[in-house]
Amino acid sequence: MTSIKASPFEHVALIIPAWQPSEQLVPLVRRLGEFGFGAIVLVDDGSDAAAEQVFAALQALSRVHVLTHAVNLGKGRALKTAFNYVLTSLPEIEAVVTADADGQHRPEDIAKVADAILKIPDRTVLGVRAFSGDVPLRSRWGNALTKKIFRFLTGVNVSDTQTGLRGFSRKLVPELLTLDGERYEYEMTVLASLCRQGSIPFEVPIETVYIEGNRSSHFDPVRDSMRIYFVLVRFYVSSLIAAGIDFIGFTAAFSVTHSIGISVAVGRLSSLVNFALNKKFVFHSSASVKGTIWRYYVLAAAIAGVSYLLIRSVHQYLGWNVIAIKLVVDVLLSLVSFSVQRTFVFRRNKER
């Protein structure tokens, strides 16, 4: 009797959120089924009646599970619905791969990501595009800008921050369910959260595919981009809060003493707030206070000194208003301070 060779992907679930999909999704899923995934979980995210035949055809395919939202809830919620289904209904699944429904992820590339997550289950896997060739300008520049902001805030260089082709081990999925985000910003929240914890993604190069100038995408370049950037800005909120306290303290002290030096010293009291917020909520540092606070106050002293010199010099030689100078200097130095805190004060000794 000849034994049937098991598929290498029999313990991998492929997740595809879909809203108003075209008929091309059916042959795509049929082709993906040939790779032997243990399950292909599709989430109908509130599509209208025109898509009923598409999902009916998909439901008839082997190992395909169709989950349905009564109304459109967003890509993030659709992913969470699928994650929860895998955890509660598919105990044999050891890893999940997420992919988009618009045909921009080739079946061969999806299989490459699935193969990688099985080989390195302790890492998140990203299918990253090179953004070469005929790529819409908004996509090319959008990714370039987001990469730079992401690297500044997390310290991790990710080639493609907005790829929807990702692989996760089952043990990580419960954590993903607890993260904020219901729409496209959810994917950025996931990536930022993992990188902030020191989990560096493993990148798998994939082909860059844009069909008809990305016309099939439901991504709103203004509204959804704002949601994504808001996720990143939240990393910086603690610095803005501390800068605000510093500015208020400086302004109050200067109105009484008219001394730049004393006012800078009073404003630096905000450093206690900045240290506490960044250690716990931004950098999630597990190091002892004793082990980090001395580095932080070396930085705080240096920032205060530079602030004093800049404010005094600009006021003395250019005659600008002290409060206005303070505002400009604070914005610039807060960027420097955040970067140094990430790389020096709250640096991680090990990455996982």
Maximum Cα–Cα distance for the chain, whole Å? 94
Domains of the chain listed by start with CATH number: 12-219 (3.90.550.10), 236-345 (no CATH)
Q: Which two tokens mark 84? A: 């929860």
What pLDDT is stored for residue 103 in this prediction? Answer: 82
Contact present, 97 and 166 (Cβ < 8 Å): yes
Residue 254: its pLDDT value, please?
87
Specify the pLDDT at position 213.
44
Q: How far apart are CA 202 and CA 199, in angstroms?
A: 9
Q: Which residue has the higher pLDDT, 263 or 232?
A: 263
pLDDT band at 2 (very low <50, low <70, confident <90, very high): very low
Give the count of beta carbons closer than 10 Å to the beta carbon of residue 144. Answer: 10
Residue 252 backbone phi and psi in degrees, to 5: -65, -45
Identity at 290, one-letter amino acid code: K
Query: Strands 12-18, 39-45: parallel, antiparallel or unpaired by DSSP?
Result: parallel
Cα–Cα distance measured from residue 54 to residue 158, given in angstroms and rounded to the nearest whole number: 35
Nearest one of 195, 9, 202 to 95, comparing CA atoms = 9
Is residue 351 pLDDT above 50, yes or no?
no
Burial class (CB in 10 A: 0-12, 13-18, 19+), 287: middle
Measured at the CA of 189, the angle between CA 205 and CA 40, to 5 degrees, comes to: 60
Per residue in 68-127, pLDDT (tens digit) is 999 999 999 999 999 999 999 999 999 999 999 888 889 999 999 999 999 999 999 999
Q: DSSP string spanning 233-283?
A: HGGGHHHHHHHHHHHHHHHHHHHHH--HHHHHHHHGGGHHHHHHHIIIIIS
Of 27-36, 42-51, 224-233, give the lowest mean pLDDT range. 224-233
Whether residue 216 is predicted with pLDDT greater than 50 in this model: the reply is: no
Residue 147 has pLDDT above 60, yes or no: yes
Supply the pTM of this predicted model.
Answer: 0.75
Mean predicted lDDT score pLDDT of the chain: 84
Helical H segments across the chain, by residue range: 25-33, 52-59, 75-89, 107-119, 137-154, 173-177, 185-196, 223-233, 237-257, 260-267, 271-277, 289-318, 322-340
Checking if the pLDDT of 283 tops 80, the result is no
Chain-centroid distance of CA 203 in Å reads 15
Range in 107-111, 151-155, 213-217, 294-298 the model is least confident about: 213-217
Q: What's the confidence (pLDDT) of residue 102? A: 84
